[in-house]
Structure 1
Amino acid sequence: MSTLLALCRIVATSAPPGATANVHARFGKLRAKERSSTVPPLSFRRRFCQHCLFARTVSPESLEMSNVFSIAWRISCPSGLRASPSSCLLPLSAAPAKPTLRPLCRLQRPYSSDNGRPVSPQGWGFSARLRRFQLTGPTNTVFSRSAQTQNSPPPPDSKPDQAPVEHGVPIRSQPLSAAEIKSIFGSSKVTPAMGNRILNVLQGRRLQGTLDLDLPADITRAVRPRTIENGLKWLRKNYPVDEDAAIMARIEREEREEEERIRRQAEELYRPQSGHWGAPLGEANDIYGKSVLKEFREKNEARLLAEEEKKRKEWLEGEAKEQEKIRMQLKKNTELQKFDEAAVIEARPRADPQERPVLAWIQKHHLRATNTDVDTSTMTTSRRIFPSLGVTILTIGLCYLFAETYQPPARKDRMWPDVPPAAATAIALLGANFAVFTLWRFWPPAWRMLNRYFISVPLYPHALSVVGSVFSHQQLRHLATNMIILWFIGVRLHDEIGRGNFLALYLATGVFGSMTSLAAHVLTRKLTVTSLGASGAIAGLVAAWCTLHANDKLTLWFLPREWQDTFSARGYVFLTGIVLFEAFSLVSPFKVAALDHWAHLGGYFSGAIWALWWKSKKEKEARKRQEEMSWLDRLILWSSR
């Protein structure tokens, strides 16, 4: 390429006036032909040299006498760009290397490099072709912001229609004065700022060899073309620059970049890169490009992280709002004003989800399960009692229908055919109670549902809670006590009355005990007392067993056999003693434990009533069967007694 530059310089300097423009025109034609053909770039340079050398019609004799070739092969390319000694610019090669991609933009006004007169685009010859090249490689940082093509992408941080500002190269350390600007541009009205800007941009274009490109829009709108010509003439007179060498250096840079691009394209043609040449490589230089699914996943992950951060901030900042909301509820609900405010408001500060995620997760579900949007001031006694009473009556009716219509399945149809029916029923009830206990202790997301339907709250009761609270326990000791009694008493009672009657008795007495507790607390205005547990149902089973065996001696199963005769009592005596103990505990100021005595009393009452009804029913059925018996069957029955 240095040979090419030397040849072009010799032809340009030895040719008559106008020959340089002719060389440029031939270069442009060759460049256009090169783009439309598939000839390698090296052959293009050979043809360009041939056209440059033989641009004029010469005879063989004159060619033989010419020493152009010897001079071309002996003389190296000049040292490139030369500025005036008075110029403060550093040589272009002394600027720090900055391998950036700087696309060139099209220009409507190219300027000649030899006489300063405007010429047409064909006068340069190669100007139309230069628009398709890109300027790369080391450039001077002083005018690093060059003009861009209209099709080039803007910087990532700029707006789509905002082009970088071209500052050019200052010709002096201090701007020119107003008098100097006026002397340069003549009588035209050019401000000192605009005049200095025009000179700086033109000087930068001269050094870069880009005078054929469009000038910035603010300059073309502010001054006439003749004014720009005056500035260019003044620069060429006072700050001479080898503009031809700058143009050839620009061509050489573009040629190197084009050759490198073609070489890389030829080397990588067999490697697919996301369907088209020049596509970005994937992770670890993967030739198949970037994964679209991975990009979507990364975007979704970033969005989720932003949402989590927003929720975390709202969670940490919402503690004061939540406490203020509870205080307003305390002022609005007169039933809660008698209690200490600190006991109602959550005292522990909210945990940071990033530092203590488990505690923050529990606190979130705790607040979610706490109903702070209810207005209990409008709740009356009837509204608190009647809905639950309706559910209680409906449940007892359904239990009666179930007991009357239940038919025990055959052995082959049972889920556990090898387990006795009484044990299977007791195990199922134990499993249901233990499942609800597990939700209370180990699964905070279920607390909202449990607070509504598995605990009785007289302040704002839910009607279905009288049913759900029968299977609900929050403490292991409470659960274990009830389930032990269920196993030892329930299995024996199940064998005596059957599965249908046993399940109906368990649920009906439990619901009746919960309803008794709710009504008692509402009527006594103890609205903040909550109740849950299977104690009402267990009390019903115990009362039914004692009533059915009223005249039989009952004792505690864990006593030694020799003690059981001593510590025994008839069924009705045992039941009476338990009821009296519950009544005494209810009115006594000394509380042994936090027991719901109203639910126990309701269970004892309903269980005893059911047992009396069951005994009377069995006696009627026995009398009816005896009446339907023949005299022979009666005789056999009497003799067996």
Structure 2
Amino acid sequence: MSNVFSIGWRIPCPGLRASSASLLSAPVTFRSAVSPSYFRELPTRRLYSTPRKLISPLGLGNLTFPRPSPNSIRPPPSFLTRSVKKKSAPPPKPNEPVEHGVPISSKPLSAAEINRIFGPNRVSPALGNRILSVLQGRRLNGTLDLDLPSDITRSARPFVIDAGLQWLRKNRPMDEDAAILARIEREEQEEEEKLKGLYKPQSGHYDAELGKANDPWGKSVLQEYREQNEARLLAEQEQKRKEWLEGEAKDYENITKALKRNTELQKFEESAVIEARPRADPSERPLLAWIQKHHLRATNNDIDTSNLTTARRILPALGVTLFALGLCYVLAETYDPPSHKDRMWRDIPPAAATVLAIIGLNLSVFTLWKFWPPAWRMLNKYFISVPIYPHALSVVGSVFSHQQVKHLATNMVILWFIGTRLHDEIGRGNFVALFMASGVIGSFTSLSAHVLTKQLTVTSLGASGAIAGLVAAWCMLHSNDKLTLWFLPREWQDTISARGSVFLTGIVLFEAISLFTPFRVAALDHWAHLGGYLTGAAWASYWKTKRDRERKKRREELGVLGRLFSD
């Protein structure tokens, strides 16, 4: 505070710069000469206002300082002043902190505005805006007595800086005396804290309310809203947890009512329909509780199936089956295999690519069954055949659905060894059409048989019907060839072999015996297998007839061409 006396006396200094060897620059500290209470009793005034009388604290009498006019402080024109070009602010010293001040507007003033404030071509626009920003910051902080940054004092003359200060006081009025008094109080407080060896942070202003844990930023409204929202979410979560734990008895009651309402379910023991399992606490076993919630969500206990007739269970599925067969026929007749350069997997044989795509679909659905409970509701509707309340599209979705690793592995192995050979023989279009047609007809046969025999709680899924169609077609196409099992040793394959027609007859007899005798394998859907065998055998017979007709027609054409050339 080298120039605090000039602020206290209200002396209009000709520009803010370092003090010279005058009385005002004497090495006397502010507090040693004037009591701070003196400035609190001063009436608020403005620097460089109208001529005034001030009382010197040193007993120098009344001092009158007229307001300097712009013409009185402007130097006389000469060849030196006319030849001086406007200066730009040089870079600050290496160790000097950069003072940015307070901008007076959101956008910097233009060159024309700077010239109107400081005079034409006295400072550059960048330097003029910097001078105004620094002066405005000094006014707000009550530090006009301090030395200005060195880049300003070296680049601008005192009367230029004074012109900027006069313009600010005219166009940006403020109580500079109050800012000075606030600065004095602030410095006194800092001195007291330093003497005590303490630092007490404040929020906003002195004695302001501190925030949580004496946070100097004060109370945070956003933090309060956040705590309220967190408390509300925790309360809602706790309410849902209680409802989840208390809802077990309600669900048991709903299932009991469904048993009484549906006469088909009354024929079975209650333990076979209701899975008694206590609900897990989400706070203790969140994963198990999450799985149980999706299990209950996928189980529909509010459906009344007592009014469903046999026709309403079978006819929608029959419509989907006929539509799927029509699409398979169109695919088989119109499919044109792409050229080698247009194939997606060029390095893989077409048969392997087709079979791997089908295996990939089955693996995807199996993954959803095993590892993604949110998909169970969708899978229960469209990927499993349920006779008590069937969905028509399930006759298609169940072809690609498996719930057990053993079931999936068995079907996919047979599909690979039989499907790749059959694919090479009949082509991709016929192969895909035969696979889908056999699977859909097998699913529809299983659904119809279980509905007609009142076995409404028996569910069915899997690609067994489609694969049965492929096996039947392969056996019919090679009805006169000897077939054997590929996994047998080479020396056994000649002994354990049979014609294709004999092999197919044996498989069908096994399915029929298992279906109508007490030795039935409960885990196998024999109706779906029989539907697939029937579809594959019928398609192979049609395809062989068509192939023989085309061969005969081709031989006749070749014979006609031969006779023409011989003549």
Paired letter, 1:327: T
Alignment of 1:309 onto 2:238 = yes
| SS across alignment from 1:508 | helix
Q: 1:530 to 1:280 in 2, by over 3 A?
A: farther
Structure 2 counterparts to residues 310-389 of structure 1, below 5 A: 310-389=239-318
Match of 1:405 in 2: 334
Q: Which residue, out of 510, 514, 524, partners 2:439?
A: 510
Alignment of 1:570 onto 2:499 = yes
Q: 1:326 to 1:627 in 2, by over 3 A?
A: same
Instruction: Tell whether the 8 Å contact from 2:400 to 2:463 is kept in structure 1 after alignment.
Output: yes
Match of 1:526 in 2: 455
Instruction: Tell whether the 8 Å contact from 1:626 to 1:634 is kept in structure 2 after alignment.
Output: no
Aligned-pair CA distance for 1:627: 2.9
Return the alpha-carbon distance in structure 2 between the equivalents of residues 556 and 279 of structure 1. 91
| SS across alignment from 2:306 | helix
Q: Which moved more, 1:589-598 or 1:274-283?
A: 274-283
Aligned-pair CA distance for 1:348: 1.1
Aligned-pair CA distance for 1:300: 3.4
Q: 1:41 to 1:488 in 2, by over 3 A?
A: farther
| SS across alignment from 1:318 | helix
Return the alpha-carbon distance in structure 2 between the equivalents of residues 501 and 265 of structure 1. 97
Q: 1:305 to 1:630 in 2, by over 3 A?
A: same
Write the deviation string for residues 421-473 of structure 1: whole angstroms up to 9, x where unpaired: 11111111111101111111111111111111110000000000001100000
Alignment of 1:419 onto 2:348 = yes
Paired letter, 2:413: I
Match of 1:215 in 2: none
Match of 1:579 in 2: 508
TM-score, normalised by the number of residues in structure 2: 0.63
Q: 1:284 to 1:483 in 2, by over 3 A?
A: same
Q: 1:413 to 1:354 in 2, by over 3 A?
A: same
Return the alpha-carbon distance in structure 1 between the equivalents of residues 307 and 188 of structure 2. 81
Alignment of 1:613 onto 2:506 = no
Instruction: Tell whether the 8 Å contact from 2:401 to 2:461 is kept in structure 1 after alignment.
Output: yes
Return the alpha-carbon distance in structure 2 between the equivalents of residues 602 and 634 of structure 1. 48
Instruction: Tell whether the 8 Å contact from 1:452 to 1:462 is kept in structure 2 after alignment.
Output: yes
Q: 1:263 to 1:407 in 2, by over 3 A?
A: same
Paired letter, 2:488: L
Return the alpha-carbon distance in structure 2 between the equivalents of residues 373 and 597 of structure 1. 31
Match of 2:476 in 1: 547
Return the alpha-carbon distance in structure 1 between the equivalents of residues 188 and 560 of structure 2. 117
Match of 1:21 in 2: none
Q: Which residue, out of 538, 550, 558, partners 2:467?
A: 538
Q: 1:634 to 1:409 in 2, by over 3 A?
A: farther
Return the alpha-carbon distance in structure 1 between the equivalents of residues 524 and 563 of structure 2. 52
Write the deviation string for residues 78-124 of structure 1: whole angstroms up to 9, x where unpaired: xxxxxxxxxxxxxxxxxxxxxxxxxxxxxxxxxxxxxxxxxxxxxxx
Return the alpha-carbon distance in structure 2 between the equivalents of residues 404 and 555 of structure 1. 32
| SS across alignment from 1:334 | coil
Paired letter, 2:500: G
| SS across alignment from 2:544 | helix
What fraction of aligned residue pairs are identical, expressed as a percent? 74
Return the alpha-carbon distance in structure 1 between the equivalents of residues 457 and 260 of structure 2. 16
Structure 2 counterparts to residues 22-41 of structure 1, below 5 A: 40=37
Match of 1:190 in 2: none
Instruction: Tell whether the 8 Å contact from 2:386 to 2:459 is kept in structure 1 after alignment.
Output: yes
CA RMSD of aligned residues (A): 2.9
Paired letter, 1:507: M
Return the alpha-carbon distance in structure 1 between the equivalents of residues 557 and 211 of structure 2. 95
Q: Which runs of 4+ in 1 moved over 4 A?
A: 39-44, 262-268, 271-297, 632-636
Write the deviation string for residues 234-290 of structure 1: whole angstroms up to 9, x where unpaired: xxxxxxxxxxxxxxxxxxxxxxxxx9xx7799669xx99887776655566554456
Write the deviation string for residues 30-88 of structure 1: whole angstroms up to 9, x where unpaired: xxxxxxxxx859978xxxxxxxxxxxxxxxxxxxxxxxxxxxxxxxxxxxxxxxxxxxx
Structure 2 counterparts to residues 118-517 of structure 1, below 5 A: 280-281=209-210, 287-289=216-218, 294-517=223-446
Return the alpha-carbon distance in structure 2 between the equivalents of residues 313 and 585 of structure 1. 50
Q: 1:41 to 1:505 in 2, by over 3 A?
A: farther
| SS across alignment from 2:264 | helix
Aligned-pair CA distance for 1:340: 1.1
Write the deviation string for residues 221-242 of structure 1: whole angstroms up to 9, x where unpaired: xxxxxxxxxxxxxxxxxxxxxx
Paired letter, 1:313: K
Write the deviation string for residues 140-181 of structure 1: whole angstroms up to 9, x where unpaired: xxxxxxxxxxxxxxxxxxxxxxxxxxxxxxxxxxxxxxxxxx
Return the alpha-carbon distance in structure 1 between the equivalents of residues 466 and 257 of structure 2. 39
Instruction: Count how many residue pairs are aligned between Structure 1 and Structure 2.
Output: 382
Instruction: Tell whether the 8 Å contact from 2:513 to 2:520 is kept in structure 1 after alignment.
Output: no
Aligned-pair CA distance for 1:357: 1.1
Aligned-pair CA distance for 1:592: 3.5
Aligned-pair CA distance for 1:361: 0.9
Paired letter, 1:486: L
Structure 2: which 5+ residue stretches go unaligned? 1-35, 42-181, 194-199
Return the alpha-carbon distance in structure 1 between the equivalents of residues 271 and 210 of structure 2. 62
Paired letter, 2:556: E
Return the alpha-carbon distance in structure 1 between the equivalents of residues 205 and 324 of structure 2. 73
Instruction: Tell whether the 8 Å contact from 2:398 to 2:443 is kept in structure 1 after alignment.
Output: yes
Instruction: Tell whether the 8 Å contact from 1:323 to 1:346 is kept in structure 2 after alignment.
Output: no
Q: Which moved more, 1:510-519 or 1:623-632?
A: 623-632
Match of 1:600 in 2: 529
Q: 1:292 to 1:495 in 2, by over 3 A?
A: farther
Aligned-pair CA distance for 1:403: 1.7
Q: 1:365 to 1:629 in 2, by over 3 A?
A: same
Return the alpha-carbon distance in structure 2 between the equivalents of residues 424 and 274 of structure 1. 71
TM-score, normalised by the number of residues in structure 1: 0.56
Instruction: Tell whether the 8 Å contact from 1:456 to 1:466 is kept in structure 2 after alignment.
Output: yes
